[in-house]
Amino acid sequence: MTYEECVQECLRCMEQCNRCFDDCLKEDDVKMMADCIRLDRECADMCAFAAKAMQSNSPFVKEICALCAKICRACGDECAKHEHHQHCKDCADACYRCAEACEQMAK
Amino acid sequence: MTYEECVQECLRCMEQCNRCFDDCLKEDDVKMMADCIRLDRECADMCAFAAKAMQSNSPFVKEICALCAKICRACGDECAKHEHHQHCKDCADACYRCAEACEQMAK
Amino acid sequence: MTYEECVQECLRCMEQCNRCFDDCLKEDDVKMMADCIRLDRECADMCAFAAKAMQSNSPFVKEICALCAKICRACGDECAKHEHHQHCKDCADACYRCAEACEQMAK
Amino acid sequence: MTYEECVQECLRCMEQCNRCFDDCLKEDDVKMMADCIRLDRECADMCAFAAKAMQSNSPFVKEICALCAKICRACGDECAKHEHHQHCKDCADACYRCAEACEQMAK
């Protein structure tokens, strides 16, 4: 796992979370998606923070990636409950890939 | 209007928007609050961005505050539609105060 | 210009600005790079903000992209003064491309 | 330690870090301040992230505050080396206070 690969996973995950946030807010059953909306925001912002840390050579890359992995996994688990929505399925996939990449980076 | 006063309004508005975001997600009628949730996120993040710009003496303070004022006003207008929710009323108040402060700063 | 293309330019510009921020801080002549360091931070953060806005379908995409274009252009102009540093040259290129993409989006 | 008190420490620390970032960039000996500039940025952004997490009732408040405490302590230690600059002294004080508040919150 190189920095560059992990950055790319973070940026993909950020994108899917932001799209899922938007799509969840347009669903008929918004109430069911409340936890998803909350985690999408947090995960998108955490991924942006982790990407910035790696790109700017932060001394805290390992700790930041460890936290990012936890938040990605939680967001993936929530999205995976709603896989009948394509945006949640896509988001769960991106979250799990990013979680794995960040876990590698955190070692 | 001093920088310090405008920063304080931005930080208050950020706080109310983040609280309103959380409270809206817990309401029974989440669907009715969808635009509020979207604008709360954007307004909170814009206010944080504007506070950082003022605190770090950005050359773009005026332009950033002008944009912040617009987003605050839109968020205030949306929250004002839901004033039977105390969190929306509080948020609308903070948004309008911040919009005025940022408009002054942008001149 | 599609959203997706503009998002990609913002993410590339964010990356180059964050790398240039790091590299400038390691240069011998840090004092000469002070404005570059300042603008790299602001431009990287603005690009992240613009990418988020486009990805989450913000009602303020045009205004946010217009501001992003201005900041990218200023950062590009500063970096272009230091093109003997490869990281500044790369950053200036990414900034100008992103400025153009954001200007298209802002129309 | 209440959320509200910890949020206030984070916002104070964010402010001092952003001011210190700006002041360091204006010093004659910018090269000596390079690590300070880098950590000021990271600490300011981490504090903003932690404040948002607390204000919006994130399920990751403890983990986020634990990381914020580490970054605040590192930034405080770096700033404490330059206490002849008043902005570094003020920033170190705010960083240590925020680190303690976040450590309490993380328990």
Tell me the ipTM for this assembly: 0.96
**Which pLDDT score is estimated for C82?**
96
- Report whether pLDDT(D57) > 90: yes
- How many CB pairs below 8 A link C and D? 24
Residue in chain C lying closest to D30 (CA): C31
Residues of chain C neighbouring B41 (CB-CB closer than 8 A)? 56
Band (C107; pLDDT cuts 50, 70, 90): very high
B19 to chain D: which residues are within 8 Å by CB?
55-56
Task: Fill in the amino acid letter for D96.
Answer: Y
How far apart are the C-alpha atoms of A96 and A73, rounded to whole Å? 6
Chain C residues lying within 8 Å of A44, measured CB to CB: 52, 55-56
At C1, is the pLDDT very low, low, confident or very high (cuts 50, 70, 90)? Answer: confident
Total number of domains in chain A? 1
Residue pairs spanning A and C at CB distance below 8 A: 40
Q: Give A-chain residues touching C19 at CB under 8 angstroms.
A: 55-56
**For D36, which residue in chain C has the nearest alpha carbon?**
C25
Cα torsion angle, D59, A38, B67, C15, sign: positive
User: For chain B, what percent of residues have pLDDT higher than 90?
Assistant: 94
User: Which pLDDT tens digit goes with each residue over B19-62?
Assistant: 999 999 999 988 899 999 999 999 999 999 999 999 999 999 99
Tell me the chain B residues in contact with residue C49 when contact means C-beta distances shorter than 8 Å.
45-46, 49
* Separation between Cα atoms, residue D49 and residue D41, nearest integer Å: 12
- State the DSSP code for A33: G
Rounded distance, CA C29 to CA A14, Å? 35
Average pLDDT over chain C, rounded to an integer: 97
In the predicted structure, residue D1 carries a pLDDT above the cut 90:
no
Q: Do B60 and C45 touch (CB under 8 A)?
A: no
Q: Is the CB of D55 less than 8 angstroms away from the CB of B11?
A: no
At residue D22 the predicted structure's pLDDT band, cuts being 50, 70 and 90, is very high
Q: What confidence score (pLDDT) does residue A27 get? A: 95
pLDDT digits (tens, 9 = 90+) for D58-79: 999 999 999 999 999 999 999 9
pLDDT, position C94: 98
Q: Which chain B residue lies closest to A37 (C-alpha atoms)?
A: B25
Distance of CA A34 to the CA centre of its chain: 16
Q: Which residues of A touch C44 (CB under 8 A)?
A: 52, 55-56
Higher-pLDDT residue of C29, C74: C74
Chain A residues within 8 Å of chain C (Cβ atoms): 7, 11, 14-15, 18-19, 21-22, 44, 48, 51-52, 55-57
Domain range enclosing A51? 3-106
**Number of cross-chain residue pairs from A and D with Cβ atoms under 8 Å apart:** 39
Whether C31 sits inside 8 A of D26 (CB atoms) is no
Q: Residue C36: which CATH number?
A: 1.20.1270.360
Q: How many other CB atoms sit within 10 Å of the CB of residue C53? A: 25
When scoring A14, A22, A25 by the number of chain B Cβ atoms within 10 A, the one with the most, hence best to mutate, is A25
Is the separation of the CB atoms in B85 and B23 below 8 Å? yes
**Chains in contact with chain A (at least 3 beta-carbon pairs closer than 8 A):** B, C, D
Q: Which residue of D has its CA nearest to C24?
A: D34
Measured CA to CA, the distance from residue C40 to residue C18 in angstroms comes to: 6
Q: How far is CA C15 from the centre of its chain?
A: 8
